């Protein structure tokens, strides 16, 4: 097909734009007054971008059918690696106490959970695409739930809260895209919502009434409805008990999310300093590489999790708007690719990859302003990290391929 | 079919709306933080990165009446430390103590200062010698929070000569920081601790400046200058005093190393203090930048109490110098005239009730008029005058002549005169009617329940010199003298009283040895009995000159100095020195 010969240049250009923007910020993150580990990391990031571009090119040459075929082996391989991580894994950086890194002979190879996200998207797309129509009952969801659930448990136990949130995001987004009714998705999510809302009996009771109404309106199988309601009741009761079982740092993170000033010196410190960095940026920022919060080491993890605070501090509201706008345009374009895809599998893959990025951006950018609780989650194309850069560009490669095989000429679209 | 293109397009619409919604929420949040709350966060980020290093203001220079320097500032250095926590400060100072002399007391003090203001540099050495500073400069890299600062240092060119009046400065104490009077002061600042330095602290302190240094999250100094425009310190205006530094030096020289006591010289018409000296003195220069412990111990253990101001704090029985108060009160109230004699002539003593009261001169003075009794300082005459006045009226007289008040001299910690407030005082002390009227005998000759400061007696004599106008002693120059009328004598009485006082220092008076060639000196000696040493009386002399147009009042007290004549010799030399060196046009002496 001649379409393969015309790659989706706008998508590549948007991703490249973000990558260059990101590398500039990684460079700036290394420019501090106190000696800093991040000083030369932008070199590596350039190298990883080149590797990513190469891989993306290779992937874009591979047929979507090949991707579909590769879903199973990739998924299994990823599961094996995740299962072995407690033995070979080690912590690093902001997640020093976890075992998220694949380590061989003391050399950290990479973070398999980044690859796992791609594998889960592929596998879930394959599983769903094999169906004739969308699941209409809870029982029919067992397959997708299993596909996401197994790696989710591994990642959650590492513990890598950020990636586990991404898995949940991918799960719901792809089910939505596949046409699962939103009522059903809400019923699936309801125990989790109950868990979160259980901190206030009043709010939880209100939610419970909404749920009852939903069950009554949606009319699931009787036993499913009963199960959902009971699960919600159980969560409402179990939440306080679960709270007691959280590790102190996890509990602090949630408390600090509700009120950062409750612990300004310790747990709240990151969020407060990040907000100060962003807020002091103003319209135009303090100038590239000149952010004082970053320079003087008040900003934590300035080259990884909190890199967007550097954007806010140094380039101001304008810089933030530019970055977020590029993300928005890229995502809208990806949704368009998913819409125009040639088959269900391609469409689901495209939407799943987009959802994964979206969760990353929403959570990462949100936490710099305390809109989200802190979870160690990188910003796509920005945060320093080889695995994620590679994974993101692999995803771009797949999207370019899907776009090329899709109906109509994607690059001639408005977005 | 759930994956029909129409369904997909519908979901794509929802997804796009979701994306837009999230985009707008994020953008709104950034707008609120970066644009609406910008000022608040800018402030926070500046607070994060900038540390204010105080630039001490030079204190006001203190001049004497002729523009000679009493207190000035010389270049000095202070060493302070920026630190993120108290523990790290302690650790760094321990390390520092290997490089420069720094004992554990100083480290503890620094840590206490740190707790008070953790964001300000903690003063470690407020007056570092140059060799210490040069050693520190060499090792600067090892101590990233170290701040070496040039700081003006107080210096008193005349040292011990001016100690009693100028005081000294020192670092503000924790107790002072808590006090309301020192609101706005910060830990590590220098404040006046005594004398003029303390009294005029507000005028002398100047306005502290600020230098901004940039620190990182661990409190290390990253940029020393240029982080923000410095606020320059503003030096205080100089303080012009009435002190005659030449006379002050001369007075100090008269006391030498052996005499102890105090002397004050005042201009009777203005209250201007010309000299004020307390002996033995101390060197205020050694107090600057922290008093060496051994020097402080020596000063405190010295039985002659050098730190105690014997002019304004020490109270002594005024003895015969107070007879003028008795006499003035009697004259003003027409209880006696200058020519009046008493029923019993002096035979060296006076029998009252069952007790015999001695006159200071066992030979006796015979039958005397009041004028002669003043000249001879006859106790027997004044016993009887006291009886004639009566206890109640004599107390009222002392109170009216302000012997219970402070003089109001512009120095801190002045003691008020000690004198009964009324008869009630005796009723409380001895029980109602539990005392005989013999107390009036002692009171009349300046003994008994009466002790006064040197300054207080000098003030009373400003009134004697000017017929009742008492001048408040002032050290710092003022446009308007502060004078109060405390008695009025008619001109004959006044002339007679002055002549009697002149007679004291004339041949035949109690201070005949203190005559000055060409100047008529008027004054009164006193030899005050005291409980500390019954064998050696305190020697007093209070007087003024020239007698007919007084230009200077001098009060001298020598602790355990024996007869008042000894004090008179000092006083006459002070007066002579002052009047002889004064411009010729002002010297108007008899003959």
**Residue B95, CB half-sphere, CA atoms under 13 Å: how many?**
16
H or E element that contains A122: helix A112-129
Shortest distance, CA A328 to any CA of chain B (angstroms): 7
Q: What pLDDT, on the 0 to 100 scale, is given for residue B581?
A: 58
Stated pTM of the model: 0.71
If pLDDT is split at 50, 70 and 90, which confidence band does B69 have? Answer: very high
Mean pLDDT for chain A? Answer: 86
A 10 A CB-CB count for B194 gives 22
| Residues in chain B within 8 Å Cβ distance of A281 | 34, 38
Instruction: Return the pLDDT at A1.
Output: 44
Cα–Cα dist B588/B26, whole Å: 93
Residues of chain A with pLDDT > 90, as a percent, come to 50
User: Testing the interface with A: which of B16, B20, B34 to mutate, by most A Cβ within 10 A?
Assistant: B34
Interface predicted TM-score of the whole assembly (ipTM), two decimals: 0.92
Note the pLDDT of residue B514.
76
d(CA A231, CA A189): 11
Position B482 pLDDT exceeds 60: yes
For CA atoms A180, A181, A182, A183, the dihedral sign is negative
Query: What residues form DSSP beta bridges with B552?
Result: B545
- CB contact (8 A) between residue B33 and residue A365: no
Give residue A98's pLDDT.
Answer: 62
Is residue B195 within 8 A of residue B313, CB to CB? The reply is no
Q: What pLDDT sits at residue B435?
A: 77
Q: Do B34 and A328 touch (CB under 8 A)?
A: no
Q: For residue A258, give every residue at least 6 positions away whose Cβ sits within 8 Å of its Cβ, in sequence order, or none.
A: none
> H or E stretch including B469?
strand B469-471
pLDDT-based confidence at residue B467 (cuts at 50, 70, 90): confident
Q: Give A183-232 as a DSSP string.
A: HHHHHHHHHHHHHHHTTSHHHHHHHHHHHHHHHHHH---HHHHHHHHHHH
Q: For an interface test with A, which of B5, B20, B25, B33 has the most A Cβ atoms less than 10 Å from its Cβ?
A: B33
Torsion over CA: B414, B417, B421, B426 (sign): positive
CA distance A284 to chain B (A): 9
CA-nearest residue of chain A to B30?
A: A317
Q: Which residue has the higher pLDDT, A163 or A200?
A: A163
Instruction: Categorize the per-residue pLDDT at A94 as very low, low, confident or very high, splitting at 50, 70 and 90.
Output: low
Instruction: Give the per-residue pLDDT at B584.
Output: 37
B198-219 pLDDT, tens per residue?
999 999 998 988 888 888 887 7
Average pLDDT of every residue of chain B: 88
Chain A contact probe: residue of B1, B3, B118 with most A CBs at under 10 A:
B3
Mean pLDDT within A369-381: 89
Q: Which residues contact A51 (CB under 8 A, 6 or more apart)?
A: A386, A390
Asked if residue A152 lies in contact with residue A105, where contact means CB atoms within 8 angstroms, the answer is no
Give me the residue from B3, B19, B214 closest to A296, CB to CB. Answer: B214
Question: What are B482's two structure tokens?
Answer: 């502060």
Please report the domains of chain B, with CATH numbers, ordered by start residue.
51-237 (3.90.1310.10), 275-280+305-586 (3.40.710.10)
**B191 has which bridge partners?**
B170
Of A302, A307, A289, which Cα lies nearest the Cα of A382?
A307
Over residues B83-98, the pLDDT tens digits come to: 888 888 899 899 888 8
Residue B8 with chain A: CB contacts under 8 Å: 177, 338-339, 347
Summarize the confidence of residues A325-352 as an average pLDDT. 94
* Mean pLDDT along residues A357-376: 91
Q: How far is CA A212 from CA A137, A183, A223, A246, in A?
A: 17, 12, 14, 29
Contact assessment for residue B164 and residue B278, using Cβ atoms and an 8 Å cutoff:
yes
> Which chain A residues are Cβ-neighbours of B85 within 8 angstroms?
none
- Name the 3-class secondary structure at A19: helix
Instruction: Mean pLDDT check: name the lowest of B115-129, B411-425, B448-462.
Output: B115-129
Q: Which residues of A touch B223 (CB under 8 A)?
A: 33
Least Cα distance to B150 among B75, B57, B53 occurs for: B75
DSSP code at position B124: E
Instruction: Count CB-CB contacts under 10 A for residue B267.
Output: 23
The answer to whether residue A317 scores a pLDDT higher than 80 is yes
| Cα distances (angstroms) measured from residue A243 to each of A236, A271, B403 | 12, 22, 78
Interface touch A176/B34, C-beta < 8 Å: no
Distances (CA, A) of A225 to A2, A137, A138: 51, 10, 9
Contact B245, B68 (CB under 8 A): yes
Is a pLDDT exceeding 90 seen at residue A160?
A: no
Band of pLDDT at residue B434, cut at 50, 70 and 90: confident
CA distance B144 to chain A (A): 11
> Which structure tokens are listed for A80?
């094996």
Predicted confidence (pLDDT) per residue in A240-282, tens digit:
787 777 777 777 777 777 777 666 666 678 888 999 999 999 9
Query: What is the predicted pLDDT for the residue at B313?
Result: 94
Helix (H) or strand (E) holding B397: helix B391-400
Q: Which tops the pLDDT comparison, A415 or A226?
A: A226
CA distance B192 to A90: 62
Query: Tokens 């070199």 correspond to what residue?
Result: A43
Q: What pLDDT score was predicted for residue B432?
A: 80
What residues of B are in contact with residue A347 (Cβ under 8 Å)? 3, 8
Span B43-57, average pLDDT: 87
Residue A189 in tokens: 């999510």
Cα(B12)–Cα(A409) distance, integer angstroms: 17
Closest Cα in chain B to A321: B27
Q: Do A317 and B217 touch (CB under 8 A)?
A: no
* pLDDT at residue B502 greater than cutoff 90: no
**Gap between the Cα atoms of A139 and A77, Å rounded:** 27
Helix (H) or strand (E) holding B77: strand B69-81
Task: Tell me how far the alpha carbon of residue B104 is from its chain's centroid.
Answer: 32
What's the CA gap between B588 and B518, in Å, rounded?
Answer: 10
Tell me the C-alpha distance between B308 and A374, whole Å: 66
d(C-alpha B381, C-alpha B357), whole Å: 11
Q: Does position B258 have pLDDT exceeding 50, yes or no?
A: yes
The SS3 call for residue B170 is strand
Contact B3 A344 (CB under 8 A): yes
Q: What is the mean pLDDT of residues A153-175?
A: 89
A282: nearest CB among B8, B23, B35: B35
Residues of chain B positioned with their CB less than 8 A from the CB of A312: 30, 33-34
Which residues of B102-220 form beta strands (DSSP E)?
122-125, 146-155, 169-171, 190-192, 209-215
Instruction: Reduce the DSSP state of residue B278 to 3 states and report it.
Output: strand
Cross-chain residue pair A133–B1, CB shorter than 8 Å: yes
Identify all chain B residues contacting A179, using CB atoms and an 8 Å cutoff: 2-3, 7, 11
Q: Which residues in chain A have their CB less than 8 angstroms from residue B7's CB?
A: 179
Task: For residues A30 and A26, give the distance between their C-alpha atoms in angstroms, rounded to a whole number.
Answer: 6
- A73 Cβ contact list (under 8 Å, min separation 6): none
d(CA A278, CA A310): 7
Mean pLDDT of A365-383: 90
Q: What is the C-alpha to C-alpha distance for residues B504 and B522, in angstroms, rounded to an integer?
A: 7
HSE-up (13 A, CA, CB side) for residue B564? 28
- Identify the helix (H) or strand (E) that includes residue A292: helix A292-295
The string of pLDDT tens digits covering residues B287-312 is: 887 788 889 999 999 999 999 999 99
Residue keyed to tokens 């303080």: B239
Q: Which residues of B touch A273 (CB under 8 A)?
A: 48
Nearest in space to A63 (alpha carbons), one of A125, A131, A1, A16 = A1
Q: Which of A297, A325, A328 sits opposite B217 (nearest CB)?
A: A297
B30–A320 C-beta distance less than 8 A: yes
Instruction: Give pLDDT, residue A279.
Output: 95
pLDDT, residue B126, reads 80
């Amino acid at each position: 097909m001649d379409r393969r010969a015309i790659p989706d240049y706008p998508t590549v250009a948007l991703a490249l734009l973000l990558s260059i923007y990101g590398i500039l910020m990684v460079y700036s993150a290394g420019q501090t007054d106190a000696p800093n580990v991040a000083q030369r990391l932008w070199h590596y990031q350039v190298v990883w971008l080149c590797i990513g571009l190469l891989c993306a090119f290779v992937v874009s040459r591979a047929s979507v059918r090949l991707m579909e075929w590769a879903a199973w082996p990739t998924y299994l391989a990823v599961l094996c690696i995740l299962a072995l991580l407690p033995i070979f894994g080690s912590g690093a950086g902001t997640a020093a106490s976890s075992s998220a890194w694949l380590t061989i002979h003391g050399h950290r190879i990479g973070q398999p959970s980044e690859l796992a996200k791609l594998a889960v998207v592929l596998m879930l797309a394959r599983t769903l695409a094999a169906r004739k129509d969308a699941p209409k009952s809870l029982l029919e969801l067992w397959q997708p739930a299993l596909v996401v659930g197994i790696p989710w448990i591994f990642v959650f136990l590492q513990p890598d809260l950020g990636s586990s949130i991404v898995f949940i995001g991918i799960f719901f987004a792809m089910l939505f895209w596949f046409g699962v009714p939103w009522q059903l998705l809400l019923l699936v999510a309801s125990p989790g919502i109950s868990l979160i809302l259980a901190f206030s009996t009043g709010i939880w009771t209100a939610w419970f009434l909404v749920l009852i109404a939903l069950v009554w309106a949606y009319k699931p199988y009787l036993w499913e409805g009963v199960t959902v309601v009971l699960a919600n009741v159980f969560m409402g009761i179990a939440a306080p008990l679960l709270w007691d079982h959280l590790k102190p740092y996890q509990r602090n993170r949630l408390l600090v999310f509700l009120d950062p000033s409750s612990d300004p010196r310790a747990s709240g410190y990151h969020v407060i300093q990040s907000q100060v960095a962003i807020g002091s940026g103003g319209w135009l920022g303090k100038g590239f590489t000149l952010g004082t919060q970053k320079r003087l080491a008040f900003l934590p993890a300035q080259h990884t999790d909190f890199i967007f605070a550097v954007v806010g501090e140094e380039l101001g509201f304008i810089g933030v708007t530019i970055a977020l706008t590029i993300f928005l345009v890229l995502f809208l374009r990806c949704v368009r690719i998913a819409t125009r895809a040639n088959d269900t599998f391609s469409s689901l893959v495209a939407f799943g990859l987009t959802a994964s990025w979206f969760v990353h951006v929403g959570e990462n950018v949100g936490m710099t302003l305390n809109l989200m609780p802190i979870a160690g989650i990188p910003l796509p194309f920005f945060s320093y990290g080889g695995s994620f850069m590679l994974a993101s560009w692999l995803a771009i490669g797949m999207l370019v391929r899907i776009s090329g095989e899709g109906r109509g000429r994607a690059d001639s679209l408005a977005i | 079919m759930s994956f029909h293109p129409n369904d997909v397009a519908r979901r794509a619409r929802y997804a796009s709306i979701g994306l837009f919604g999230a985009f707008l929420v994020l953008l709104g949040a950034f707008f609120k933080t970066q644009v609406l709350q910008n000022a608040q966060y800018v402030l926070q980020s500046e607070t994060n990165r900038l540390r204010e290093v105080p630039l001490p203001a030079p204190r006001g220079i203190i001049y004497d009446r002729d523009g000679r320097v009493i207190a000035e500032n010389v270049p000095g250095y202070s060493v302070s430390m920026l630190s993120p926590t108290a523990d790290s400060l302690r650790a760094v100072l321990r390390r520092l103590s290997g490089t420069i002399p720094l004992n554990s007391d100083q480290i503890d003090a620094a840590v206490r200062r740190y707790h008070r203001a953790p964001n300000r540099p903690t003063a470690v050495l407020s007056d570092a010698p140059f060799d210490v500073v040069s050693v520190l400069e060499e090792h600067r890299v090892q101590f990233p929070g170290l701040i070496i600062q040039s700081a003006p240092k107080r210096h008193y060119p005349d040292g011990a000569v001016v100690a009693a009046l100028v005081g000294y400065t020192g670092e503000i104490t924790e107790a002072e920081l808590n006090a309301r009077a020192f609101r706005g002061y910060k830990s590590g600042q220098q404040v006046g601790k005594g004398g003029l330095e303390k009294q005029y602290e507000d005028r002398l302190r100047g306005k502290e400046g600020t230098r901004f240094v940039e620190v990182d999250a661990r409190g290390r100094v990253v940029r020393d200058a240029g982080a923000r425009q410095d606020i320059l310190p503003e030096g205080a205006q100089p303080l012009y005093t009435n002190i005659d530094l030449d006379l002050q030096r001369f007075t100090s020289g008269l006391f030498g190393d052996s005499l102890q006591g105090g002397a004050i010289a005042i201009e009777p018409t203005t209250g201007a203090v010309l000299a004020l000296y307390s002996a033995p003195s101390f060197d205020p220069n050694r107090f600057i930048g922290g008093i060496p412990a051994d020097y402080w111990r020596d000063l405190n253990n010295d039985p002659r109490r050098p730190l105690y101001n014997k002019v304004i704090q020490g109270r002594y029985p005024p003895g015969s110098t107070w007879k003028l108060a008795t006499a003035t009160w009697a004259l003003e109230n027409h209880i006696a005239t200058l020519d009046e004699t008493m029923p019993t002539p002096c035979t060296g003593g006076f029998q009252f009730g069952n007790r015999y009261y001695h006159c200071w001169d066992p030979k006796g003075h015979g039958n005397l008029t009041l004028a002669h009794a003043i000249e001879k300082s006859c106790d027997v005459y004044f016993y009887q005058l006291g009886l004639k006045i009566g206890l109640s009226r004599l107390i009222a007289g002392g109170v009216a002549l302000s012997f219970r008040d402070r003089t109001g001299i512009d120095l801190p910690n002045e003691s008020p005169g000690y004198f009964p407030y009324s008869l009630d005082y005796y009723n409380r002390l001895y029980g109602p009617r539990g005392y005989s009227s013999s107390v009036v005998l002692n009171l009349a000759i300046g003994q008994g329940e009466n002790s006064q400061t040197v300054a207080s007696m000098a003030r009373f004599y400003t009134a004697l010199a000017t017929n009742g106008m008492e001048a408040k002693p002032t050290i710092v120059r003022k446009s308007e003298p502060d004078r109060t009328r405390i008695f009025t004598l008619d001109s004959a009485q006044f002339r007679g009283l002055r002549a009697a006082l002149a007679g004291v220092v004339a041949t035949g008076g109690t201070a005949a040895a203190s005559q000055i060639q060409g100047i008529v000196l008027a004054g009164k000696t006193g030899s005050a009995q005291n409980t500390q040493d019954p064998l050696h009386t305190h020697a007093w002399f209070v007087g003024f000159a020239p007698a007919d147009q007084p230009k200077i009042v001098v009060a001298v007290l020598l602790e355990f100095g024996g007869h008042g004549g000894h004090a008179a010799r000092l006083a006459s030399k002070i007066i002579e020195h002052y009047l002889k060196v004064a411009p010729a046009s002002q010297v108007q002496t008899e003959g």
